[in-house]
Amino acid sequence: MTTRRHLAGLLAAAATVPLGLPLARPALAQPATLPEGPIRLVVPFPPGGPNDLVARVLAQKLGPLLDRTVVIENRSGAGGVVGTDNVAKSEPDGRSMVLTSAGAIAISPPLGAPMSFDVEKDLAPITLVALMPELLAVNPKLPVKTLAELIDHAKKNPGKLNFASSGNGSMPHLAGESLRAAAGIDIVHVPYRGAAPAVTDLMAGQVQMMFADIPALLAQVQAGALRPIAIGSKERTPLLPEVPTMAEAGLPGVEADNWYGLVAPAGTPKPILDRLHDAAVRALNDPELRKAYAEQGARPVGNTPEEFRAFIASETKRWGEIGRRADVRMD
């Protein structure tokens, strides 16, 4: 079953669940009362992308757990900053959340992107929802099949290999910069406005290599139009079990997982945040959700707000250092 067909099935099933009849769960001591009306879950990217699909499956499970309709609202722009800013400035009453990303709250701030909100002051972390491994793939005409061969080829052809990304300062861009520094190779960055045109040019041979979220490359890899080289995460993905991690391929210092996390406006009362967190974690442990995420290559997490806040700080430091060393300038 394809991801979209499975997602459609989940959404259809959701329509049959009465809003007043939550899924069975242990009783909570004096649960916080949410305001009446729907809850907005802002997706700061266009419909159809990995972030959007992850959010829609999550929303389908959150509705019954919260006894509310959870409505997806796509507000794209500036690599996720626009949609995240919208929620940062919303009323802190539990009716607005955003499934934000690494780029919006851990990469853009340390690299000097124009920001209209402060991550620490204006956002309340709820939980890290999912990790999305970055896949390194090459045009199949490139005479390499392994990471070692790619590095060797790049060293023999300095400045002649181009690596694409979905934009300056994006996760794929910084993953490529991390590879460049760790391998000591001279490769040229070619930014695009989004993953789709970058993948198109990669298949055409206009660029030779690219990191991207697995869903952006999977169909082309499975069709033989692109050749997978390595996975940026700590673990292999069941979608491409034969593809080694970067560490297994010889570069343990290169790790790249995109990620999506649930946040609310700062000032949201703690009892409400606790209820949103409880529902999110329960949703992320739902077998149907985990199956749908696995079909996209995503790994559900569901940690505490404190753990998520510490994770954001760690990621901000790591990607900020990589970006500054490479003199990355945000668009």
Q: Domains of the chain: which residue ranges?
A: 3-23+36-132+258-325, 133-231
Low-confidence ranges of the chain (pLDDT < 50): 1-30
Q: Among 3.80.10.10, 3.40.190.10, 3.40.120.10, 3.30.420.10, what is the CATH number of 133-231?
A: 3.40.190.10
The neighbouring-strand residues paired with 43 are 74
The model's pLDDT over 105-135, given as tens digits with 9 standing for 90+, comes to 999 999 988 899 999 999 999 999 999 999 9
- The pLDDT score that the predictor gives to residue 308 is 98
- The pLDDT score that the predictor gives to residue 31 is 60
* Phi, then psi, of 313 in degrees rounded to 5: -60, -40
- What number of other Cβ atoms are within 10 A of residue 285's Cβ? 12
Q: Among 3.40.50.720, 3.40.50.300, 3.30.420.10, 3.40.190.150, what is the CATH number of 3-23+36-132+258-325?
A: 3.40.190.150
Task: Decide whether 3-23+36-132+258-325 matches 133-231 in CATH topology.
Answer: yes
For tokens 């990191």, what's the residue?
A: 211
- The pLDDT score that the predictor gives to residue 11 is 38
What is the reported pTM?
0.86
Residues in contact with 261: Cβ distance below 8 Å, sequence separation at least 6, in sequence order? 99, 100, 101, 105, 125, 126, 127, 128, 129, 308, 311, 312
- The pLDDT score that the predictor gives to residue 9 is 45
